[in-house]
Amino acid sequence: MDLTVKRVAVVATGVIGASWAAYFLARGLDVDAWDPSPGAQERLRAAVAAHWEALSRQGLADGAHLDRLRWHDRLEDALAQADFVQENGPERLDAKVELFRRMDAAAPAHAILASSTSGLAISDIQQACARPERVVLGHPFNPPHLIPLVEVGGGQQTEPEAVVQAMAFYAHIGKRPIQVRREIKGHIANRLQAALWREAFHLVNEGVATVSDIDTAIAQGPGLRWALMGPFMNLHLSGGEGGIAHLLAHLGGPIEDWWRDLGAPSMDAALQHQVVEGVAQALGTRQATELARARDALLIELLRAKQSSGALD
């Protein structure tokens, strides 16, 4: 497979697809886009234009320009010259199987086909492809135009070289790819998030804390450290001179005891209502779009600071 990627096809251009398209354009690539939804082209161009300011602050690659985005009314036309395909369709297996069957038939033989799926197995997605060996996982973290993480992996019929090539491509355009070495529901980051969400909902359900309390506990506590280093390195630093070995020797038992006490809430209507109401109270008169802009501005500064530091990159 050819490592050189000059043209990327973005298939399905909703929230994730539009964010990917903006990022690829900012990296100086040609982008061909397709989405069957009515009004999708107008929404895509508006979203890309909205993301462009943040991407410009991060720094655009040579040749990056909005004019390098091309819209196509037919999927086959969007894929005709693609070197790499980023799919972002509905999170339904039947839809993805059919979409990848069509993509596989239309894309050049050298092109890698990557799915942004949040939790489906590539082995299932690639089942109808004539060339399943080039189908890979390319799961971003939202929003893809700002967050570096991409989870990459293969299915039972994926060639290892396709995973290597996808990892190299994402790294080349400034992403931080990690390899999912064994297929598992939800991949890696979403499973870690789900573990935290599970206990957060449990604490609300049990009346231990409000929605606002829990958000404060994370955002003003461990979340600040997690933005800089992952859980294992943070544990290592918490162990002082003895590092993680010292910490586990002294806190391993209590941590295991906490694990046994973690909750398993049911996502019933009552709990959903309680959380929705809690979020509304925490928001007050603020708008979600206002929070998103503030979040993204700080994300850019944080990423810039981590990169300039070098020690925590």
> Is residue 79 pLDDT above 50, yes or no?
yes
pLDDT band, very low/low/confident/very high, at 3 (cuts 50, 70, 90):
low
70: CB partners within 8 A, 6+ apart: 30, 31, 32, 33
pTM of the predicted model as reported, rounded to 2 decimal places = 0.93
pLDDT band, very low/low/confident/very high, at 230 (cuts 50, 70, 90):
very high
161 contacts 152 by C-beta, under 8 angstroms? no
Give the integer Cα–Cα distance in Å for 64 and 67.
Answer: 9
233-242, 251-260, 288-297: range with lowest mean pLDDT: 288-297
pLDDT tens digit string along 107-131? 999 999 999 999 999 999 999 999 9
Give the integer Cα–Cα distance in Å for 170 and 187.
Answer: 17
For CA atoms 5, 9, 11, 12, give the dihedral sign. positive
Q: Say which CATH class 190-309 falls into.
A: mainly alpha
Enclosing H/E stretch for 9:
strand 7-11
pLDDT band, very low/low/confident/very high, at 78 (cuts 50, 70, 90):
very high
Please name which of 62, 83, 81, 84 lies closest in space to residue 72, comparing C-alpha atoms: 81
112 contacts 1 by C-beta, under 8 angstroms? yes
Query: b/e string for 100-136 if b means 16 or more Cβ within 10 A?
Result: bbebbebbeeebbbbbbbbebbbeebbbbbebbbbbb
Two structure tokens written together for 176:
């931080």
Give the integer Cα–Cα distance in Å for 111 and 78.
Answer: 13
pLDDT at 193 (0 to 100) = 96
Residue 85 CB neighbour total at 10 angstroms: 27
- Average pLDDT value for residue range 71-95: 97
pLDDT band, very low/low/confident/very high, at 1 (cuts 50, 70, 90):
very low
Domain spanning 7-179: which superfamily? Answer: NAD(P)-binding Rossmann-like Domain (3.40.50.720)
Q: Could you give the 3-state DSSP secondary structure of residue 262?
A: coil
pLDDT tens digit string along 244-279? 999 999 999 999 999 999 999 999 999 999 999 999
Give the integer Cα–Cα distance in Å for 160 and 289.
Answer: 41
| Per-domain boundaries in the chain | 7-179, 190-309
